[in-house]
Chains A and B, each alone.
Chain A
Amino acid sequence: MSAPVGSPHPTTNPRIPPKLGPAQNQVHISSGYGLHPQNYIAPSGYYPQGPGKMTSLPPDSQCGDYYPGHYAVPTQNVVTPSTMNQQPGAQQTYGRGPPAPHIVGSTSGSFQGAVLPASHLHPSASQPFSFVNHYSNPAMYSANSSVASQGFPPTCGHYAMSTVSNTAYPSVSYPSLPAGDPYGQVLTSQNAPSVRPVKDNSFSGQSTPISHPSPLPPPASQQQQQQQQNLSGYNTPSWSAPGLQSTQDNLMRNHTGSLATANNNNTIHTVADSLSCPVMQNVQPQQCSPVVPTVLSGTSTKTPTTANHPVKPVASVTQPSELLQHKGMQYGDYINNQASSEPTPLSSTSDDEEEDEDEEAGIDSSSSTSSASPMPNSYDALEGGSYPDMLSSSASSPAPDPAADPDPGPSLAPAAPQPTKLSKPFGYGYPSLQPGYQNAAAPLNSGVHSSSPMFSGFQQYAQPYPGVNQLSSSLGGLSLQSSPQPESLRPINLTQERNILPMTPVWAPVPNLNVDLRKLNCSPDSFRCTLTNIPQTQALLNKAKLPLGLLLHPFRDLTQLPVITSNTIVRCRSCRTYINPFVSFIDQRRWKCNLCYRVNDVPEEFMYNPLTRSYGEPHKRPEVQNSTVEFIASSDYMLRPPQPAVYLFVLDVSHNAVEAGYLTVLCQSLLENLDKLPGDSRTRIGFMTFDSTIHFYNLQEGLSQPQMLIVSDIDDIFLPTPDSLLVNLYESKELIKDLLNALPNMFTNTRETHSALGPALQAAFKLMSPTGGRVSVFQTQLPSMGAGLLQSREDPNQRSSTKVIQHLGPATDFYKKLALDCSGQQTAVDLFLLSSQYSDLASLACMSKYSAGGIYYYPSFHYTHNPSQAEKLQKDLKRYLTRKIGFEAVMRIRCTKGLSMHTFHGNFFVRSTDLLSLANINPDAGFAVQLSIEENLTDTSLVCFQTALLYTSSKGERRIRVHTLCLPVVSSLADVYAGVDVQAAICLLANMAVDRSISSSLSDARDALVNAVVDSLSAYGSTVSNLQHSALIVPSSLKLFPLYVLALLKQKAFRTGTSTRLDDRVYAMCQIKSQPLVHLMKMIHPNLYRIDRLTDEGAIHVNDRVVPQPPLQKLSAEKLTREGAFLMDCGSTFYIWIGKGCNNNFIEDVLGCPDFASIPQKMTHLPELDTLSSERTRSFITWLRDSRPLSPILHVVKDDSPAKTEFFQHLIEDQTEAAFSYYEFLLHVQQQICK
């Protein structure tokens, strides 16, 4: 299993032992399982600073010297949020006009009337309106697009670059070489010898095929090796493999160490290079860790981050292809670009230039094909700088080094494996495994399987604390080595086991495939299935009582992505599946589809491999080597020329909105990010504001200042000047800036309290329908006028009702219809709701839900009274405005014959049975699909799922991103249980529960959730385990299931009995539906850390910063001590809870207050103090923050402040007035099972 090893977390190991000791004590001392919510029993001295003996792995000096020095780029990467100093002061002419004149020309669509007031308001805007030809300008769009579709104008490139450089993520400083660093610690001297071989291997695995036309090293095999190294052979005979416990420790370390090296070296050599292998993405723990996103580490892919790290691949992805197009390449170019985040404009620019030259060189040498091969050089020169010799040496190393194995000894033994790709996927045993390696892999594997990192951590310390109760779970992995039972099936008695929560985040289980398939498989960050072993029949699935479905995050920011330009995109002729790594080649000329089993011809073009520049090896094409690829689509995939990026902002300017003051924040964010909006030279932008009337802004180039046009006829809305409302961003930039500067103060004296949201949306739809694009709606109250007006439906007395919660569904179909209209015209509506009162989010959310938009909710937003919300909005906007975006997208999900999809979750419109229509796609959108088994899968051993996302990039390219996931089919119930991915299952259940609560009732949904646990556990108890029934026995793979379900029941979305505002509840439901798994899990089950005693032990190094890695605490007040300070990471919020008896040193050093009493009640920032503990705390928080796209807000909660209820409600293992404690819940479940 790769995740644990490759993750940044192994380094946490050293920290674990201290914890274990006391923990053990605790087991004995405290008997009452979570029943003491309020007494803080946790022993002080909980984990002593003193490093266990095992901590003795100081950051390896070798490593330390090696990398950080060279990769000291980080400073460049730091993007400081430019202080908003652009004051909106320049709105001289803009009307402070009295509101009255707005209503001058009221009805009958009187054009004159409508417009006149505008001119009245802006006497200085003397330009008369010409009413001629305002109404349509059909030529415009096509003209634009045709320009762009052929040959990108030079400006295009220019913008692209700026985009890249700017897209840098919110004040994140990008760690340039995190991948390497974390491992530095583990890289002990034993491993030193392995450095070399590994390096070579990994290098060749990635770049040799490119730079070497020689067919020598089949990339597959190399990758495979690497993968093996990473994955450490989970599926092989492994569980029972006779790993020596005593050596395990070493092996582990070797493993990690060598892996680290591999990555580092990768980084060095292949930085720029191209064969990005998705395999590596598998490696990434889907957990946060904001570590790596620079180019450097990008290739090395150790990045645990990608999902969360808003990397902005756009520009770098597109550049090469554009270049290629310029050059008129016609052959299948495999552009291996580094879709990485290169936050420094410098690097990206020069990068492109370099590439350009290289491209030419490539052309010279091979007439028809250019491959990205020379890139490494350029990158190296750029970023690594100082390793020319190593590069050349490895580049010239003839064969991939098999020494991916962790054995410290072997050096460049060129045992090039020959994986015959033709017969590839099925049952191919990897030949070149060194025996020692197998052994090494096996024990790891056993422990690692279900919740790996924890185990990997434990294993090191297994020896010192052999008898620890609490360790039994991890030890199980070791002690069971001799038995055939896989770790994930190890029975756990939930009522006995007190500490089931691992110390480190839970990773996705790895499907039990053979090694080369596993290596090729799609990253769990993008694609997860609730059951990694698919049951053979529906009957078996029914017996297991587990939900079967997929969790998708198809458009997530990837640090690297193979992009393929090819004249023919090879697809199955009958089911239209894209060719993928799991097809089988029958012979050179034919391949068999893995979804419908049809035999297809290999087209001539596909026979040539641009990567190796060899002919006749279709199985080595990048499409067949990577399960996540992106194709540049030809015009066959377009219904119309690719649309430009079009952004429309629809802003509420009623009294309520002006009072809340969001306009200031929005306009400043826009001003700052105007240049970073994704798009090319055709990008268009427009603004509309509304209260009881609709205001348009004429920003046509050439005007001296923006003109406001007021339409007061909201019953029959029309566009006053259709062609000048959406203007080219670059041509009218000055006007746009003027407008943004003026906007916040334009309506300061408004007395208009009504909100005509519906008509404004209709107008927006009319404005957008010729092109499509993105509409961002900012709304601060219940729409009260015109179409789509809503009534308040919430009864505050019912907020804490345990009975029926009503009004979870929409009140009107207006917004749904509008969304479907928008979706049909490729327009997505994103809703920002900033209201302090009930605004019927349930109805409003429909406009985003069905148009594939996003919903953002800022309850009680006020820019001065609620600064934390204002800050959150500002940071969210930064991400929102600059993140990648895809337009006019559709996503189709295919699966192997026999399986069928029946229900989809997420924000989209299901256009036909398996086709999701997504007007926009953004990297923060997640989807879920429920599956059923229609035909028995008896005649196949593997099933595959493929999602294909066809979209128009912001650069006007049509692209297809394809993810393919392959899973084994099993026939026994035990295997089904062994393969449960509990996090995916919980997320799918949460989605189903949302549907249920809307279509039926909340209590039904809650019952269904409890039943899901009861059914699956009782099914397990009665069929698989033959242990006594009195205890609650679960397989290890399901041990967190009851905990997570309890967490779901205590979610805002599903809780009863606790006062929950209807909008909050609905928003929580919307988030469940639309968030990708990683973020959703944090919301469901927050992470709790103790932060008053952070040490550098086990810390990882990110970008020259030391990030401490405190262990996870379970969510119970039992863990809180009066003397401590705790950080809770709830995904979108951080709480720092300060105990009454918290050490004054900590308070002074970190919070900057002399003592507990003087800590202010509302504290949302940690001061930047020059003390060690402050530095540690801040770096830890920054690190957590960097791991997610939307920046969370921080609340410092004092133990005696009223805000602590907010904090305590997240302690889900504790009892509340309305809900069970975890232990009670277990008893309840047990009772239900016994019934």
Chain B
Amino acid sequence: MEAVVFVFSLLDCCALIFLSVYFIITLSDLECDYINARSCCSKLNKWVIPELIGHTVVTVLMLISLHWFIFLLNLPVATWNVYRFIMVPSGNMGVFDPTEIHNRGQLKSHMKEAMIKLGFHLLCFFMYLYSMILALIND
């Protein structure tokens, strides 16, 4: 059972890693002026909710399967994702807003955030991998 949980988490984590990389690539494209802000933001906004769901599911799964440590590790990031999503002003077009992304260093902070998430997901990936192997051996 435990193995199944971790296999699922592992797959989910892989997806999140890919998503982070995708965010980074798109943002840096914008930085280099390869794409315009409008299309960049609409691309990214599409993936904000999947990312949110993906991460929340793992977090909840950890809570259910009583892996406290991993749950607590995931909690801040998951909270941040939800918070960020809820706090979008009603007039904005999503977490990434083309009219504001170039202002007040938003682009940089988005980039930084995506980097941190990538690092975090990588860490989680190895942790899930280890736990999965451990669980398989125990089985």
Contacts and interface: CB of A to CB of B under 8 A. Distances in A.
Given A902-B105, A911-B37, A913-B33, A817 B99 contact: no
A824 B38 contact: yes
A909 interface: yes
Given A902-B105, A911-B36, A811 B90 contact: yes
Chain B residues touching A, majority SS: loop
A2 B99 CA distance: 40
Q: Which DSSP category, helix, strand, loop or mixed, fits chain A's interface?
A: mixed
A912 B102 CA distance: 7
Nearest to A992: B104
A811 B103 contact: no
Q: Name the residue among A816, A842, A850, A995 with the largest chain B CB count within 10 angstroms.
A: A816
Contacts of B103: 902-904, 910, 995
Given A902-B104, A912-B37, A850 B99 contact: yes
Contacts, number: 56
Given A910-B37, A912-B37, A816 B90 contact: no
Interface in A955-999: 995, 999
Contacts of A813: 90-93
A25 interface: no
Contacts of B30: 912
Contacts of B38: 820, 824
A810 B107 CA distance: 22
A48 interface: no
A903 B104 contact: yes
Contacts of B93: 813, 816-817
Nearest to A821: B38
A330 interface: no
Contacts of A911: 36-37
B76 interface: no
Interface in A789-821: 809-813, 816-817, 820
Contacts of B99: 816, 820, 850, 909-910
B54 interface: no
A809 B36 CA distance: 24
Nearest to A917: B36
A762 interface: no
A913 B91 contact: no
Contact of B91 (A811, A903, A915, A995): A811
B49 to A, nearest CB: 16
B31 interface: yes
A846 B104 contact: no
Nearest to B102: A910
Interface string A808-843: 011111001100100010000000000000000011
A842 B37 CA distance: 23
| Interface magnitude class on chain B | 10 to 19
A50 B83 CA distance: 71
A761 to B, nearest CB: 16
Contacts of B36: 911-912
Contacts of B92: 813, 816
Contact of A809 (B31, B37, B90, B98): B90
A20 B19 CA distance: 72
Interface string A895-913: 0000000111000011111
A1029 B98 CA distance: 47
Given A902-B103, A904-B103, A843 B91 contact: yes
Contacts of B91: 809-813, 816, 842-843, 846
Contacts of A902: 103-105
Interface in A307-366: none
Interface string A996-1007: 000100000000
A902 to B, nearest CB: 6
Contacts of A995: 103-104
A824 B42 CA distance: 14
Given A910-B37, A912-B36, A812 B90 contact: yes
A971 B10 CA distance: 55
B111 to A, nearest CB: 13
Interface in A1136-1153: none
A903 B100 CA distance: 9
B58 to A, nearest CB: 30
A909 B90 contact: no
Contacts of A846: 91
A1036 to B, nearest CB: 32
Interface string B82-98: 00000001111100001
A842 B90 CA distance: 12
Nearest to A908: B99
A807 to B, nearest CB: 9
Contacts of B89: 809-810, 999
Nearest to B41: A820
B98 A820 contact: yes
B105 A909 contact: no
Interface string B2-25: 000000000000000000000000
19 contacts: A809-B90, A810-B89, A810-B90, A811-B90, A812-B90, A812-B91, A813-B90, A816-B91, A820-B98, A842-B91, A902-B103, A902-B105, A903-B103, A910-B103, A911-B36, A912-B30, A912-B36, A912-B102, A995-B103
Instruction: List 6 tightest A-B contacts by C-beta distance, closest first.
Output: A810-B91, A910-B102, A912-B33, A903-B103, A813-B93, A809-B91
Interface of A: 809-813, 816-817, 820, 824, 842-843, 846, 850, 902-904, 909-913, 915, 995, 999
Given A813-B90, A910-B37, 11 more contacts: A809-B89, A812-B91, A816-B91, A816-B99, A817-B93, A846-B91, A850-B99, A903-B103, A909-B99, A912-B30, A912-B36
